[in-house]
Amino acid sequence: MLYEEFVGRPSEPVRNVVERDAVRLFAEAIADPSPLYRDEEVARLSRYGRIPAPPTFVRTFDYGKVEGLELPPAGLIHGEFRISYERPLLVGDEILCRLTLKDSYDKHGRRGLLGFLLFERRGEDPEGNLVFTTNDTVVVTEAVRRGIKP
């Protein structure tokens, strides 16, 4: 199995702040026209009370690195991505983020051995309350595996 020695080892937490301009630019980048992500008055009158971040905004956060875990710079395949929220992300929130390789396993495919890496990213508020969790799968092909140094 690839990287099995890193399974279960989290990165050090990294502080991220949900900033208004970053939310606005992200909403523009994903072509979401909702004024909720741009207009403070609209957001104030909404159920959120202030500007929320779009659901996939968590992809922009820094989660740190698991010490020693170096993925290849190219050739990885994005397999799956899920987000679970405990509460919405709002402009001004301070979020402590970390990354953990939760599992690693191999499967034989038509073109050789595939490695599957299951990552979990967590965001907590400064009090330690969970705000969101993401789970994503990265697929490493046999061709890419040949270039990985043990």
Q: How many domains does the chain have?
A: 1
pLDDT of residue 103: 97
> The domain that contains 79 carries what CATH number?
3.10.129.10
Calpha distance 54→23 (Å, rounded): 7
**In Å, how far from its chain's centre is CA 43?**
25
Measured CA to CA in angstroms, residue 112 lies from 1, 77, 90 at distances of 14, 15, 44
Half-sphere exposure of 16 (CA within 13 A, CB side): 26
Q: What are the pLDDT digits (tens) for 54-98?
A: 999 999 999 999 999 999 888 899 999 999 999 999 999 999 999
The tokens describing 54, both together, are 């779009």
Asked if 79 contacts 48 with a C-beta cutoff of 8 angstroms, the reply is no
47 occurs within a structural domain: no
Return the closest-CA partner of residue 100 out of 123, 82, 72: 123
Q: What is the pLDDT of residues 129-149, one digit of tens each?
A: 999 999 999 999 988 887 776
Please report whether residue 90 resides in a domain: yes
pTM of the model: 0.89
Residue range of the domain that includes 10:
4-18+61-145
